[in-house]
Structure 1
Amino acid sequence: MPPREPAVLVAVAAGGAVGATARWGVGSWTALTEALDPGWGGSAGPVLAVNVFGSFLMGLLVCWLLRRPGHRLARPFLGTGILGGFTTFSTFAYDAHSLWSAGESAAAASYFILTPVLAILACWIGVRAMHRFLGWPLPGEADAGDLFGPTEEAGV
């Protein structure tokens, strides 16, 4: 359970505003959205790209913060806030439904499968890249940490 303190809420909200604005910017950039459209139309291609790129950044961030925790609000602001606001499951779900409803079952199925598979792969690549770049050994599962920051139970 995340700590219930106003500073954490403000950090998440401020980061979320930055991340959601960045996602909106990507979706509004016509040349980019046309370049990212695999033929599905609408926002599905850009949302796939945003979710995969955001997952890659999350892999980098988690590894960095695991070894260099920094300020206690870094994880809630950067991870939950910015990257949580930048990536979007709700738009992914809506786009998959829209493709299916429009009779584009092959596009809907490929989008539905590609998004989580590529996002998880991108996060894994981010983790590996950060560790390789910094020369750190890969952490074990017990070292994973929590993106909400230190918990009240830990006394921090």
Structure 2
Amino acid sequence: MTAPETETLRVPAPAPRRHAWRTQAPIVAVVALGGAVGATARYTASLWWPTQQGGFPWATFWTNVVGCAVIGVFMVVITDVWAAHRLVRPFFGTGVLGGFTTFSTYAVDIQKLVDSGHPRTGLAYLAATLVAALTAVWLAAAATRRVLKWRQS
């Protein structure tokens, strides 16, 4: 009886390893820079339009609504019209607009309103922000597509 033949397994050579940090570092940097710009703009808006104790947080409300509308326009433009540089979307979309809009402050504002004895205002703010922000992004994207289609005809 003879020993079974063994096949020589050929394992492909590993692909040259790209250092993830080299490809991710520019993205992290532009998101951080954009986030600083957006958060500074939001903070400035809150200084210009302070919220009274127990009052409706208009600055945060409008920041989120306007930010969502800009996101709607921006996403249509960079996906349907403009072949943007690979760092534009992380800088402006994730960084600037992510730093500008603030759904964490929105949640804290609701909690403060409820805790200070203003649950109706808190619920109104909860519902109004959700409806207005989602409507803003949808309307802005739809309007941008319509304008772009009109300009092309």
Determine if contact 1:38/1:45 at 8 Å carries over to the other structure.
Answer: no
Aligned length: 128
Does 1:83 find its partner at 2:102? no
TM-score by length of 2: 0.78
Partner Cα separation in structure 2 for residue 25 and residue 100 of structure 1: 25
Residue matched to 2:64:
51
Structure 1: any 5+ residue segments left out of the alignment? 137-156
- Report the residue type matching 2:65 in the other structure: V
Larger Rg: 2
Residue matched to 1:27:
46
Match for residue 122 of structure 1 among 118, 136, 145: 136
- Report the residue type matching 1:93 in the other structure: A
Deviation of the 1:38 alpha carbon:
9.8
Q: CA RMSD in A?
A: 2.1
Residue matched to 1:6:
25
CA change 1:92–1:25 in 2 (3 A) is same
Structure 2: any 5+ residue segments left out of the alignment? 1-20
Counting aligned pairs with the same residue, the percent is: 38
Deviation of the 1:114 alpha carbon:
1.0
Partner Cα separation in structure 1 for residue 132 and residue 35 of structure 2: 23
Determine if contact 2:54/2:116 at 8 Å carries over to the other structure.
Answer: no
TM-score by length of 1: 0.76
